[in-house]
Amino acid sequence: MDLTLLLIQLLNGVQYGLLLFLIASGLTIVFGIMGVINLAHGSFYMVGAYLAWSLTAWTGSIFWALLLGVPLAAMLGLLVERLFIVHLYNRDHLQQVLLTFGLILIFNEMQSIIWGDDPHSVPKPDFLQFSIPLTEVQSYPAYNLFLAAVCLVLAGVMYWVVQKTRLGMRIRAGSSNPEMIQALGINTKVLFATVFSIGTTMAALAGLLAAPERSVYPGIGEQVLIISFVVVVIGGIGSIKGAFVGAMMIGLMDSLGATILRAFDDVELMSGLSVDNLTSVTVYALMAAILLWRPAGLYGRAH
């Protein structure tokens, strides 16, 4: 294990973390502001990825797919909020989990019917087809860097919207005291519908952007769902800053942490269990440690 490898793993971790942030930020605002546990969040990521595949095939470019896919995803989010989520606002978490779990099953079945069960790849744009040499053996795909840059820009835009705009002010107010903003005459019905639609669109956008890098196949939504929840819980529910920090920690843990642990694959903790076997649990161990230290997450407010 040399310095070059550690630096490359740092890059890998940051890039993965940025993508995780994009997915998890939508989940944390829906969870934090509306109090809704949306298990179907990963399904919107899946829809985004499949939209990337079919729209790219249709229009010939991922950029057209993004342009068409984002409004489609926003409308889908709005539709789901109006039809289903609106009934959940004053219900307990169990009912939210049941309904949104049901939505996962429906989305998966729709995916199977509309798009089939074969894995597909989405072509990268021509000018991002190349890779940048890092070492004499490995190079870095330009698209991954592009993806990281886009995620950074989006994070900046979100920071600006939340901190500097009227909508952002309402979102922050709704996050800290929903009853009060209602009493102040803000239409929470519109606010909630907007927030849910933004949240799910963020997930779909992540799916659209990631599709050329990650390919498209059944079950990708569930893959990102659990790790997104880990990010949200580590960062503190409702905190976008927390989601950013949490996503970075998970990203680095997954790349840098795993590499360091794997360097000790000859050290046995107990019979049949060496240190490198721990790579699959590090992320969850990190979450547990942070929750012990700060039960509401890094930037969460204790209720």
Partner 1 sequence: MSTRKTYSRRGALGLMGAAAGVGTLAGFTPTKFAIGQQAKVRVGTLLPYSGTYARLGEAITNAMQMRFAQSKEMIGSREIELIKLDSEAAPPKATENTSKLINSEKVDFLVGPVHSGVAMAMAKIAREEGVMTIIPNAGADQITGPLCAPNIFRSSFSNWQPGYPMGRVLGAEGKKRVVLCYWNYGAGQQSAQGFKDGFAESGGEIIKEIGVPFPEVEFQSVLSEIASLKPDAVYTFFAGGGAVKFVKDWAAAGLKDSGIELTGSGFLTEGVTEAQGAAAEGLRTTLHYADTLDNDVNNVFRRNYKEMWGSEADVYAVQGYDAAEMIRVALEATDGDTGAKDDMIKAIENTVYDSPRGPFKLSAAHNPVQNFYLRKVVNGVNEVQSIAVEALSDPAKGCRLG
- Whichever of 44 and 217 has its CB closer to partner 1, that residue is 217
Nearest residue to 52 via CA among 119, 152, 142, 123:
123
Nearest approach, Cβ of 6 to partner 1 (angstroms)?
10
CB 25 within 8 A of CB 202: yes
Nearest approach, Cβ of 158 to partner 1 (angstroms)?
23
- Whichever of 116 and 156 has its CB closer to partner 1, that residue is 116
How far is the CA of 130 from the CAs of 140, 141, 161, 201, 208, in angstroms?
9, 6, 34, 29, 20
Nearest approach, Cβ of 248 to partner 1 (angstroms)?
14
Summary count for the chain: helices (H), strands (E): 12, 4
Q: For residue 126, what are the contacts with CB-CB under 8 A and spacing of at least 6? A: none
Per-residue DSSP letters for 140-202? EEHHHHHHHHHHHHHHHHHHHHHHHSHHHHHHHHHHH-HHHHHHTT--HHHHHHHHHHHHHHH
Nearest approach, Cβ of 84 to partner 1 (angstroms)?
23
> Which stretches of the chain bind partner 1, using CB under 8 A?
1-2, 4-5, 8-9, 12-13, 15-16, 108-109, 112, 117-121, 131, 133, 135, 137-141, 143-144, 213-215, 217-220, 223, 254-256, 258-259, 262, 265, 276-277, 279-280
Nearest approach, Cβ of 268 to partner 1 (angstroms)?
14
